[in-house]
Amino acid sequence: MWLECIECGRKFDVGSRFYTCPECGGLLEVELDLEAIKKKLGDRGLGPEPPRVWKYRDFLPIFDDSKIVSLGEGGTPLIRCDRLSKEIGIEELYVKFEGSNPTGSFKDRGMTVGVTRALELGVRSVACASTGNTSASLAAYAARAGLRCVVVLPKGKVALGKLVQALIYGAKVLAIEGNFDEALAAVRQLCEKRGDIYLLNSLNPFRLQGQKSIGFEIAEQLGWRVPDKVVVPMGNCANIWAIYKGFFEFKAVGVTKEVPEMVGIQAKGASPIVKAIKRGLDTFEPVEKPETIATAIRIGNPVNGPKAIRAIRSSGGTAESVSDAEIIKAQKLLARLEGIGVEPASAATVAGLKKLARRGEIARDDCVVCVATGHLLKDPEEAIKVAAASRLMDGEVF
């Protein structure tokens, strides 16, 4: 395996400890010897055990299995949603419910690999900037590994359910004025100044390797069939790339035959990637003051934006933005029609799917998977407002 810059193509030793290309500043990706993996799988296959992140050990860039830090992440349900699919107007719809991970979001998949990598490097401290889910997950896995954890959050802009997780797991929490992009700049500066602190934002290419397992699991749970489209909410834009990479690697080694079209959804108040895709651009213009009820995707300058654009374009996919009102409506639909409670960022996928289906950009006979990235109780204050606004009035009969 090796590190490779997605911009200039330069390759670096996988043991190098930097987060972007030292030559051009581009994003790095961990690349694997897929031919070697193909041969290994040809000899023994993936095994019969149920899907979990570490079932796909051959695809994860870790050298020392004794260092693996796990809380039993992955193996999240892929739920067929027939009532919701009828409402939207498609025949086969699934929700990949990442809220059932240990800390309630998909971030645990990345942190099990990222924190394991930290132990391999021998560091004693890890750090991240966060809109909430990243901090909750890193704090939990750092506690499990016995590492010190520092998280930098935008003051007053993190959902209570996520903040309390970071605190209870023992992280040192620093709140700064400004938005997520400014928090990330601050934590990057801290990690550059202190060489003993390992950065575990999605800028770190090792963290994204764990998130590939969402794609692996979807394929396995569908009986080694690839859906036509996978719909993903985009904040810092790492997840859509990671899921695409998972499907790409499965195809490359012969486990599956196709890569699905990747569909990225952003909130209207924080949609730089959607605008770039719709305008046919290869670069995006950051949103200076991103605003949306969906705090997990309230990011105006996504670090992994270039990877997201590549994933969407390479797969023949598309992108769409949705309003806060559409997000809330979709959140209630998913809860009431299917009994699945998700935070607003997750509901954005359903809102985006509904809009695309209405315009005919999603065919009625497409098989579609919406990735629901976080649990309803990640943002309890928002959930209470939504529930209270639609409660039964005194004396109402149903």
CA distance 286 to 301: 5
Give the H or E element holding residue 12.
Answer: strand 11-12
CA nearest neighbour of 202 among 302, 125, 102, 61? 302
239 labelled binding-site residue? yes
Beta pairing, strands 229-233 & 318-322:
unpaired
- Show Cβ contacts of residue 332 under 8 Å, excluding neighbours closer than 6 positions: 386, 390
Residue 238, annotated as binding a ligand:
yes
Give the whole-angstrom CA distance, residue 250 versus residue 258.
9
* Residue 304 known to bind ligand: no
201 is in an annotated binding site: no
Asked whether 260 and 227 are in contact (CB, 8 A), the reply is: yes
103 marked as binding residue? no
Q: Is 76 known to sit in a ligand binding site?
A: no
236 appears as a binding residue in the annotation:
yes
C-alpha neighbours within 13 Å on the C-beta side of residue 333: 23
DSSP bridge pairs for 172: 150
- Residues 241/311, Cβ–Cβ less than 8 Å: yes
Can you list the positions of beta strands (E) in 241-310?
261-267
Annotated binding site: 133, 235-239, 373
Binding residues for pyridoxal 5'-phosphate: 133, 235-239, 373
